[in-house]
Structure 1
Amino acid sequence: MSLEVTEDISAAALTRYDMLIDTRSPGEFAEDHLPGAVNLPVLSDEERAEVGTIYVQDDRFKARRVGGAYVARNVAHHLQTALADKPGGFRPLVYCWRGGMRSGAMATILSQVGWRTTVLTGGYRTYRREVVRRLYDQTLDHRFVLLDGHTGSAKTEVLGRLGEAGFQILDLEGLAAHRGSLFGALPGRPQPSQKLFESRLLGVLDALDPARVVVAEAESSKIGQRMIPPALWTRLAEAPRIELVAEAADRARYLATAYADVVADRKALDDIFARLPIRISAERLASWQAMAEQGALAELAQAIMVLHYDPAYDRSRKRHDRALLGAVSLVPDHPASLVEAVDRVAQMVGELDASALGRDP
């Protein structure tokens, strides 16, 4: 039997294991987990609730007996399925909520099989304390440059293309599963919990080279319902920006395509109109609803931009007053113009990267 314990959850340490096994229930796992972890629960959500109820309301011994039977059956199932093809040199890290009975039970069985098994001391709580320490109490070393611009200036698309070209990017909207506006919810894809968002965020930050520039979109401190943690927000608030500039009509055409899925859902659209942080008259609302009904999406997008998004952007820009590195004009829905804009932004970022690394641009 080979059973070890560890408190080391650094990114480098976690790479030593062949699998990170989260033995908590699916519900606990969905709320948050170590990046890259696989959920092999020893108790389902229902079983965990049942055992907990017996423990509190009936008899502790009975709870352990019932729970033990569930654990044995579930671990056996994992051995016959998810772990069936693992070789003799397989080395897993196992954890539960606080490094107690659930992870201990699975780790004991896996070690008896002959695998070199390690238990995370303190379980998920050890990991969560580290996330909070780094994202709330410390300062990040990363150096950011922001893509800024009015709604509809293709910031997300430019960011993605920079990533494809080999530049370091931080896709906050992708991590938060939200496009960063009232219309930003992704159909069929709910936002992660705040804890899971922070775990994903830290995993991406750990994979970035702090010596190189990281490009991100200029966001508010919240993306949908997810808050950007202080350590990152501090760095973003002081970062210089590259502004993407596009005419309102061009941005409206681009938005009509980018947000067509939202507009197609009339109930969702009416809910968004109701949440607008500005007063709109019954006549204006009826006009907007008619535009949506008739498929006049570019006209609808431009009307909302003029009344809400553009003024909100202008207020935010005055409030943050970030240094401007340069402006890049483009027609967002014109492929050649978009390619040219990406090339110009890439040149600016490349020069900053070269400067940061002490090279000639």
Structure 2
Amino acid sequence: MAVTKLLIDEFIVLSKQYPVFDVRSEGEFEHAHIPGAHSLPLFNNEERKIVGTAYKQESKQKAIKIGLKYFGVKMVKMVEAVEQLTEDANTKTVLVHCWRGGMRSAGVAWLLDLYGFKVYTLVGGYKTYRNWVLKQFDLTYPIQIVGGYTGSGKTEVLQELSNRGELVIDLEGLAHHKGSAFGALGQPPQPRQEMFENLLATQLSDKAVLLTSEKVIWLEDESQRIGEVNIPTIFFKQMREKKVLFLDIPFDERLQYILQGYGKFSKEHLVNAVIRIKKRLGGLETKTAINCLIEDDIMGCFAILLKYYDKGYFAGSQKRENPEQLIHKIPCNSVDAKTNAIRLLQ
């Protein structure tokens, strides 16, 4: 057998079928990686630094000699790690990449090929993959936006649409954040910006393959910033130009929904979330909201916050070029995902 080099589009297709091994250092992998890839570092963070310094300050040959010392003692463990994962996946075919498709991926690919795996490597490495990611945001997609004030259950509506066979991308799910000052509560740590982009690009690419003339990609109406990550500007601009189906749900219904979702969190977490928006909420409203929490009037606190978020959402929605033409209100009696999803489809 021989190692086969793939261009990015071929690599992306095969990555849906076979395990991908990222042989960059654990620090590079942790920062961002191809979604679904397994970390198989040829060098750890410190070793990578030493080899890189030797390459820059001395010579390629010196760097290779140092690298081989590190590589030699890891060969058996690396083969065993790949063997275990491929056994679980019931395949002997693997994809390998490093940062630029250079010596690291070539070395690991040689070892795995020698052991009997069918090995593919990525021409240009992770750097080429990142260029592919950014290009996904330049493409035009048939997008349908689901809008609605805070507490409208938009995420659950998207899930219901997905259950009914619609193409859905949950931006807040990818960002691990619900978008408000309370959005991080109960969520895992957010991905870094680069990783968020990788996840979003993968979703867009996967959905694009399934598109037909009758299909659209459903997305929630979001601010560009979701917690600590941002929707890429060029893609966000495309979202803002699309029609919005606005779930028009009574205030009291949404307030009850918010109480169920966030009322379970500790007072300390809720107070800290209120303090985070103090400047925009205003001193008096902040004080009143916190006093409500202290006095166990959770509903009173959330009523203040819901009015604040309603104003903010409305102001943001009007920044579209043609809000009157783009925003279509869908009257809904309650926050019921199944009922509201059916209304959207009708």
Aligned twin of 1:354: none
Deviation at 1:13, TM superposition (A): 3.3
Aligned twin of 1:323: 326
In structure 1, runs of 5+ residues without a counterpart are 349-361
Question: Which letter maps to 1:103?
Answer: S
Alignment of 1:142-221 (within 5 A): 142-187=141-186, 189-208=188-207, 209-211=210-212, 212-221=215-224
Name the SS of the counterpart of 1:319 in structure 2. coil
Output the CA distance in 2 between the equivalents of 1:191 and 1:85. Answer: 27
Output the CA distance in 2 between the equivalents of 1:17 and 1:75. Answer: 25
Aligned twin of 2:289: 288
Q: Is the aligned partner of 1:23 residue 2:23?
A: yes
Name the SS of the counterpart of 2:174 in structure 1. helix
Identity %: 28
Pair 72,291 (structure 1): closer, same or farther in 2 beyond 3 Å:
farther
Deviation at 1:250, TM superposition (A): 2.0
Name the SS of the counterpart of 1:327 in structure 2. strand
Contact 1:17 1:92 in 2 (8 A): no
Contact 2:182 2:273 in 1 (8 A): no
Contact 1:95 1:123 in 2 (8 A): yes
Contact 2:167 2:217 in 1 (8 A): yes
Question: Which letter maps to 1:315?
Answer: A
Aligned twin of 1:240: 243
Deviation at 1:279, TM superposition (A): 5.2
Alignment of 1:264-279 (within 5 A): 264=266, 266=268, 269-270=271-272, 272-278=274-280
Structure 1 range deviating more: 252-261 or 270-279? 270-279
Output the CA distance in 2 between the equivalents of 1:291 and 1:147. Answer: 32
Pair 268,41 (structure 1): closer, same or farther in 2 beyond 3 Å:
farther
Pair 271,84 (structure 1): closer, same or farther in 2 beyond 3 Å:
closer
Output the CA distance in 2 between the equivalents of 1:311 and 1:224. Answer: 19
Q: Is the aligned partner of 1:33 residue 2:36?
A: no
Question: Which letter maps to 1:43?
Answer: F
Aligned twin of 2:113: 111
Q: TM-score, normalised by structure 1?
A: 0.83
Deviation at 1:119, TM superposition (A): 1.8
Pair 163,276 (structure 1): closer, same or farther in 2 beyond 3 Å:
farther
Contact 1:170 1:204 in 2 (8 A): yes
Question: Which letter maps to 2:96?
Answer: V
Contact 1:89 1:116 in 2 (8 A): no
Name the SS of the counterpart of 2:8 in structure 1. coil
Contact 2:23 2:41 in 1 (8 A): yes
Name the SS of the counterpart of 1:145 in structure 2. strand
Output the CA distance in 2 between the equivalents of 1:304 and 1:16. Answer: 43
Deviation at 1:153, TM superposition (A): 1.1
Pair 275,50 (structure 1): closer, same or farther in 2 beyond 3 Å:
farther
Output the CA distance in 2 between the equivalents of 1:269 and 1:230. Answer: 32
Pair 101,156 (structure 1): closer, same or farther in 2 beyond 3 Å:
same
Task: Indicate the RMSD between aligned Cα atoms, in angstroms.
Answer: 2.7
Aligned twin of 1:7: 7
Deviation at 1:265, TM superposition (A): 5.8
Deviation at 1:122, TM superposition (A): 1.3
Deviation at 1:313, TM superposition (A): 1.3
Contact 2:133 2:197 in 1 (8 A): yes
Match of residue 125, structure 1, among 116, 124, 127: 127
Q: Is the aligned partner of 1:99 residue 2:101?
A: yes
Deviation at 1:236, TM superposition (A): 1.1
Name the SS of the counterpart of 1:219 in structure 2. coil
Question: Which letter maps to 1:217?
Answer: E
Aligned twin of 1:303: 304
Contact 1:176 1:223 in 2 (8 A): yes
